[in-house]
Each structure stands twice: as C-alpha cells, then as structure tokens.
Structure 1
Amino acid sequence: MTSAGQLLASLEAVNASSFPDEAERIRARDAVFETLRRIQSPWDIAWDQNWVNPAINAAVKTLINAGVFKKWADEAGGAPITCSKMSELTGADELLIRIRMMPAISGQFLVQEVAQDTYARTAWAKALAENPSFAGMYGGFYHELNSQMFRTLPFYLMETGFKNPTNVDCNFQFWQGDKNTNMFQYVGTNPRLKSDFNDAMECHSKHNLTPWVDIYPTDTVLASAATTGDGQSRPLVVDIGSGKGHDLKKFLARHPDIFTGSLVLQDLPNILKGVDVGPVIKAQPPDFLTPQPAESEGARVYFMHNVLHDWPDETAKNILQTLAPAMKKGYSRLLIHESLVSSVKPLSRVTVSDITMMACLAVAERSEEQWRELVASAGLGIVKIWRPVQSVESIIEVEVA
C-alpha cells in the first residue's frame, strides 16, 4: 500500500523542467493523468467535467478582461501580490477578486496562495501576461466556437440517429440554424472570434505540437535549393492555409539568413488582413482550391499544417490534385503536417482533436493507412512519414509520382 504522504513526497520536486525533452515530459504527464483517473471516484470525474472546467474558464476570462494578469506583470513586476493591490491596479471590486475569483483559480493550482489574500504567479499566469495569443484562447475561441459546438453535438447526433457524420451540412449548421453557413465564413466574419481563432491556432502550434522544424530535416530544403540553382528564383517554402504564419516563423528562426520573398504565406484575404509577417515572408491570398500563382510554382516545399483534416476525402483529394501541377517533379516536396491516429491506444490529444473536427466540420483525423490512400488517390506518392515519439502530429513527405 502507498500512503498519500509517500506519493506526495515522491512528486514534490517534479515540474516541467524535470525531463530531458518534450517527449519525456508528455510521456510523464500522460502517465500521471492515467494515475489520477485511477485515484478519482466517478463523482470526482463528473465534478471536474461538469462544474470545474466551465466555472474556472469563466473565472479566468473575467480576470483576463479585468486586466489582472497583465497589470500584475507590468506594474507589480510579477512579484506576489495582494488582492487589494489587484483591485487598485485594475479598478475591479476587491471582494470579487478576493473572495470569488482568486480562490477559485488558486484551488485549481493555477496560481499559488503564499499568504492570506496574497498570490504568486505560476508559469501559466506568466504566459497569460506575456503572450497575448495565449490569453486569446480564453476569449472568442472558447466562448464563440468550441463551447457552443460541443454543447449542441449530442443533440445533433441524436437527431441524425447517431450516425457518424460525413455530410457538410453538420453540427455546425445545426447549431447556427442555417444550412447555408460554414465554419470558415463564421470565423472570418465574427469580430469577437477571428483574432482569437488565429491566436488559438498559433498557441496550438507553439505549445501543443512538436515544431515541424524539429521533425523534418529543414537543412535539406536549403541544401537542395542551392544545388539546383533555384534558391534565388523560386520560393523555398509555400505555407498553404497558414493563418498568422507561425510555422514559417519557426523556419525563419532556424534559418535566419534566407532571402526576402523566399517564404510565402497563403490564406484567405480576411484571415491575412492585419497579419504582420515581416519583410522576409510574402503574403498571398489564393484559395487552395485554385491553382498556385505563377510566382509560387516550382517551390522547394509546399507546406500544409492542419489543412486537409478540415475536409472530407473527396475535397482533400481535389486540394492535392490542384496543387500537384505546381510541383516540380524530382524537386518539389509537399509536407503534410497532421495528426495520425494510432490503431492501438491513440494519444488523447489526437482523439480530442478528432471529436473537435467532427463537431465543427463533420470530418476526422486520419490513420496512417487513410493518409496513404488519400495521397495515392491524388496521384502523388509518399516519400517518408516522419513520426516522432509522443508527438501529436507527424509530417508526411509527398512527391509527384
């Protein structure tokens, strides 16, 4: 038998920096979560899912809106702070902060209570102050999209006889009450959502996923471009459907000396509006269901991150077939950065993403076999699948067959 004291003593010094790399941290985190599930009673689990999660999200969003985390960092220097000082800095009611909001998030160990009514920041609280995109996830992305879709999904599935959704007229349209709308239109035209949606995608890429430049040997992109003589005349990387360009920025950080215009960011005009990509990255607004512009033909790499999982197989096939003519045989590569659902014990981060895709678009994350079938159906061939241990996503390297 293990006492609570023995368990706590063994865990006391463990934190995110206790592990040699991200894969080991994720492995440990998932093991601890599995242990938590064994310790919890059925009521514990139901309490977390139905009361704790929505209540704490509401408290966190309230504190963000009041400016607590930002002013805590800017004016208090990030040091431990009293609730009365938080109230003074933000103008928020001290009682609201002291007896309602801060105890709620402290009880979830999101901040540390170091003395009566006095709190110290955690890494999470620091991120809310220092990274606007991180704070944005608690805004429109949650309140205008995710929570709404998940709320209606069980009712939609009941209405359809619990069939696996494959029709584009799906839960999203059921929630909106309009068969003529779609998620991408809604995101692009909802002022309370668009910026926060881009923030959420940036954070998902930055914090939940292994950077693609750590999965794929990007040095080969530069080396091959140099040997062909195309490095100065054709783009190195064309990022298709890429939002704010976070993946191109990762490439640029790894290879800062590349020439201006060698990286191309492509997305819809309303998504690109207001996005600052800097001088090296060139923004283009083509739809990925239309041919590549002439200046982007023959690129060394075409990159799609979480694009194809937004679409059913037939549309995804059309996207690939539309791109293929722009690829130079023997030179161009398409890198598909997507989740692969394992046939045994798939990662929870992948299965949660799968439910999300079903709720908003009636599509699904794909297995390796399904990806191979899709790529082959478009007349392309898989060179290699780069699949790191404990990573949500892999990179499927594709060439013209």
Structure 2
Amino acid sequence: MASADQLIGALEGLDANSFVSEAERVRAMDALTLALSKVHKPWDIVWQHCWVNPATNACVKTLIDAGVFSKWIKTGGGEKTCAELAELTGIDVTYPFCLTLEEHSDGDAGRMIRQISGQNLVIETAEDTYKPTPWVHALAEDQALANVYGEFYGFVNSPMFRTLPAYLKKTGYKVPTNPNDCNWQFMRGSDENLFQSLGANPAAAREFNDAMESHSKHNLTPWVDVYPTETLVKESKPDRPLVVDVGGSKGHDLTKFHLRHPNIPEGSLVLQDLPDILKELTIDDTISIHPHDFFKPQPVKGARAYFMHNVLHDWEDTKAKQILSHLAEAMEPGYSKLLIHESLVSSVKPLARVTTSDITMMACLGAKERTEAEWRALVESSGLKVLKIWRPRHSVESVIEAERVL
C-alpha cells in the first residue's frame, strides 16, 4: 500500500499539459475523480456540496465584479499580496476580499482570496502572497467565460436546481415533459418558459449565451473533429447551400467549419435562428444569415447538410419530432445529410458531464438527454434513418448522421 507521501510525490507536477492528447487528459481526470471519491468520507462530500462550492462561487463572482482578476493579469500576472491586489482595483484594503494585517492579528490576510486559494484556484507562494493559475488568466482574458459566474449561475442554474426537489415532490415525482409547465414555472412563479424569461431579461440572455458559447468552446469537442466534414465538401453541389445550421445561435459551429474548410464559396454556409438572436450579428461573409423558426417548414431545400447542435435536447419527443419532420421534408434523398450534434447517455457508466446536462434539461425545460436507443427511435419516427453515430470515446457529444428515407 502506497503512503500518502508516495502518492503526493507521484502527483506533483501534474497539470493539464501533462498528457499527449485531450483523450488522455480526460481519461486521467476521470480516474483522479474516481480516486478522490474513494478517499472522501461522507462528511467530506456533504461539506463540499453544501459549504465549499457555494462559498467559493460567491467569492469568485465578487472578485470578478471587483476587477481583481482582470487587473491582476493586465499588470503582468505576477505575485501579489492582498493589499497590492486591492490597490490595483482602487478599492480600500478593508474591502472583504482583503483584510489588513492590523484588522486580523494573526497575519492571515485575505478572506476571499484565501477561500479560493484553499481550492487551489490561486497559488499561495508565501504568507499573504499569491500567484494566478491558468483559471485566473482564462477568466481575465475571456469575458464570456467569466460571465458564466454571473446571470447564468444566479438567474438560471442556482435557483432552478435549488427548487427542483420541491417541484418534483409536489408533482409526485412525475417526469416533466412540458417546457411551459415544469420546474422553471414553479421556480419563477409565472407562466413564462425559460426562453421567454431570458427574452425579458437582456442581461440574463446575454450571459446565458456567453455560457453556451463557453460550454461549446471549452467542454465540447468541435464537431469538425468528430464528423469527417471533408466528405460534405467533396460531394457538394455548387448551386446548393453546403451546411445549414438550424438554431445555430451566433454561428460558432459554422465558424469552426469555415476554419477547417477556408476555401468554400461565399454564402455557402447558412445560419438560422430567431430574429432576436441574429440581430446586430457581425459574422464572416461566407455565412449567410437567415432568420427562421424551426417549428415552421424549412425554407432552404436540398442543402448538402442540415446541422443542429444542442437543439433537440431542449424539447420533449413530440416537439423534437416536429422539428425533425420539417427538416426531413426539405432534404434531398441520397444527397442531403442531417447531422445532430448532441450528448448520448451511455447505458453503462455515463459521463458525469452528460448526466449533469440531463438534470439541467429536466430542471429548466422538462426535457432530457437521450440514450442511443431513444435517439434512434426519435430520428426514425420523423421520416429519417440513422446511417451512423460518430462517437469518439473522449468526446462529451456525438454526431448522429441521418438521411431521408426514400
């Protein structure tokens, strides 16, 4: 049996750059998470869930709002004391994130910095002296990522998860299937669904979109690395749209496609979403913007590929089938492909990132992530057939490839 010293020694120096590939990093992270769960005693887990995580998030949001991280990195990102960090922000050193030595007689300066240091989010190099981690650099340099701690967490995630147990108890633990009558309405005390609530709150909508962008950028394998997109380009007809991104938000996935295939014709990529989402959008000329409601017939006919990323998991089967049926009607048999980029819940040892998304869908939309069998049944009920599911082991999401039934 290894001693604690041997284990600690083996782990020293390990970081995100220690692996030959992203797949290896994810495998190691999953193994370390499993090992940590075995080392924890029950109270350790309760303490982490109910004290450490909420306290840390509160500190992080406060430090972001105070400009601590952004100004720290802007001035070089070197080692700083709490008093130096306070001076950078122009806030008096009695501000809660930094107690002065005079106020705290044992010399342990820093309340909020001290809290996140205890979670290894900053590194304490000496008494009351800290250096930033890659996480601090990321929050300072990527405003969308920092905004995940804002209205996405405060307006969406935190209240909907807090109220979910009471909602399920009230309904007799029935599976919610209606986005207009689920926990979101119970939590808000109104008839608005999630999207209507976001539409009425521009700040929340903006930071919700930032969270989705960050989720796609940092947590998900780009679809062009999952599906062989070169086959779409090679066999495409020049007078037809190449890829139609249905419900594509700000066009992040089409941008990834264009970066992989920079020589495609101007306007060959079509971005579709609701008008409010697409307004004032600045995007590459290769991408043509077409406002569209996917619950209505698809106006672009015979495209090489129709692509949807994290659209169908927002909707229960009846609504999802309606969306798919409109696409099936627009597809040319034998030429058009439907590519659905979504999570699949594994039947054995599903990824925590997928099960977390599943509970999120339940809490805010009465929807769900689907198993492979559920996806096949849904797709095939809509006049389509599944050709292949592209499912790399390390990827959170897969690409379901389908075509119209002749």
TM-score (norm 2): 0.94
Q: Residue type of the partner of 1:302?
A: Y
- How far 1:204 moved relative to its partner? 0.9
**Per the alignment, do residues 275 and 100 of structure 1 end up closer, same or farther by CA in structure 2, a change over 3 Å counting?**
farther
- CA–CA distance in structure 2, aligned partners of residues 151 and 274 of structure 1: 35
In structure 2, the residue matched to 1:156 is 167
Q: Residue type of the partner of 1:238?
A: V
- CA–CA distance in structure 2, aligned partners of residues 126 and 349 of structure 1: 24
- CA–CA distance in structure 2, aligned partners of residues 250 and 367 of structure 1: 26
- Among 272, 285, 291, which residue is 2:278 paired with? 272
Determine if the alignment matches structure 1 residue 394 to structure 2 residue 393.
no
How much identity, in percent, do the aligned residues show?
Answer: 60
Determine if the alignment matches structure 1 residue 299 to structure 2 residue 303.
yes
- CA–CA distance in structure 2, aligned partners of residues 15 and 195 of structure 1: 32
1:30-62 Cα distance to aligned partner (Å, 9 max, x none) = 110111011111111011101111111111111
- How far 1:247 moved relative to its partner? 1.0
Q: Residue type of the partner of 1:312?
A: E
- CA–CA distance in structure 1, aligned partners of residues 60 and 287 of structure 2: 35
Q: Residue type of the partner of 2:320?
A: A
Determine if the alignment matches structure 1 residue 382 to structure 2 residue 382.
no
In structure 2, the residue matched to 1:284 is 290
After TM superposition, list the pairs within 5 Å mapping 1:42-121 onto structure 2.
Answer: 42-74=42-74, 76-95=75-94, 96-98=96-98, 99-121=110-132
- How far 1:237 moved relative to its partner? 1.1
Helix, strand or coil for the counterpart of 2:112? helix
In structure 1, the residue matched to 2:186 is 174
- Among 251, 255, 260, which residue is 1:254 paired with? 260
In structure 2, the residue matched to 1:357 is 361
Q: Residue type of the partner of 2:186?
A: F
- CA–CA distance in structure 1, aligned partners of residues 242 and 82 of structure 2: 52
- How far 1:193 moved relative to its partner? 0.8
In structure 1, the residue matched to 2:231 is 220
- CA–CA distance in structure 1, aligned partners of residues 281 and 56 of structure 2: 31
Determine if the alignment matches structure 1 residue 165 to structure 2 residue 176.
yes
Helix, strand or coil for the counterpart of 2:111? helix
1:113-148 Cα distance to aligned partner (Å, 9 max, x none) = 122222211111111011111111111100000001
- CA–CA distance in structure 1, aligned partners of residues 241 and 199 of structure 2: 27
Helix, strand or coil for the counterpart of 1:48? helix
Q: Could you tell me whether the CA contact under 8 Å between 1:141 and 1:200 is conserved in 2?
A: yes
- CA–CA distance in structure 2, aligned partners of residues 116 and 253 of structure 1: 47
- CA–CA distance in structure 2, aligned partners of residues 78 and 291 of structure 1: 52
In structure 1, the residue matched to 2:242 is 236
How large is the RMSD of aligned CA atoms in angstroms?
1.3
- How far 1:190 moved relative to its partner? 1.0
In structure 1, the residue matched to 2:9 is 9
1:158-210 Cα distance to aligned partner (Å, 9 max, x none) = 101112222331101111112x3111111222122111111111111111111
Q: Could you tell me whether the CA contact under 8 Å between 1:236 and 1:263 is conserved in 2?
A: yes
Q: Could you tell me whether the CA contact under 8 Å between 1:260 and 1:281 is conserved in 2?
A: yes
Determine if the alignment matches structure 1 residue 343 to structure 2 residue 347.
yes
1:363-390 Cα distance to aligned partner (Å, 9 max, x none) = 1111111111001100101111000003
Helix, strand or coil for the counterpart of 1:385? strand
Helix, strand or coil for the counterpart of 1:390? coil
- CA–CA distance in structure 1, aligned partners of residues 279 and 201 of structure 2: 14
- Among 370, 386, 390, which residue is 1:366 paired with? 370
Helix, strand or coil for the counterpart of 1:352? helix
Q: Residue type of the partner of 1:90?
A: T
- CA–CA distance in structure 2, aligned partners of residues 117 and 281 of structure 1: 51
In structure 1, the residue matched to 2:144 is 133
Helix, strand or coil for the counterpart of 2:385? strand
Q: Could you tell me whether the CA contact under 8 Å between 1:188 and 1:271 is conserved in 2?
A: no
- CA–CA distance in structure 2, aligned partners of residues 108 and 93 of structure 1: 25
Helix, strand or coil for the counterpart of 1:86? helix
Q: Could you tell me whether the CA contact under 8 Å between 1:68 and 1:90 is conserved in 2?
A: yes
After alignment, is 84-93 or 283-292 more displaced? Answer: 84-93
- CA–CA distance in structure 1, aligned partners of residues 173 and 354 of structure 2: 22
Helix, strand or coil for the counterpart of 2:289? strand
Which 4+ residue blocks in structure 1 deviate beyond 3 angstroms? none
Q: Could you tell me whether the CA contact under 8 Å between 1:170 and 1:360 is conserved in 2?
A: yes
In structure 1, the residue matched to 2:101 is none
Q: In proportion to residue count, which structure has more helix?
A: 1
Helix, strand or coil for the counterpart of 1:275? coil
Q: Residue type of the partner of 2:43?
A: W
- CA–CA distance in structure 2, aligned partners of residues 84 and 273 of structure 1: 44
After alignment, is 18-27 or 82-91 more displaced? Answer: 82-91
- CA–CA distance in structure 2, aligned partners of residues 373 and 310 of structure 1: 17
In structure 2, the residue matched to 1:328 is 332
Q: Could you tell me whether the CA contact under 8 Å between 1:144 and 1:192 is conserved in 2?
A: no
After alignment, is 251-260 or 388-397 more displaced? Answer: 251-260
1:83-139 Cα distance to aligned partner (Å, 9 max, x none) = 222212212232323221111111100111122222211111111011111111111
Tell me the matched-pair count. Answer: 392
Helix, strand or coil for the counterpart of 1:94? coil
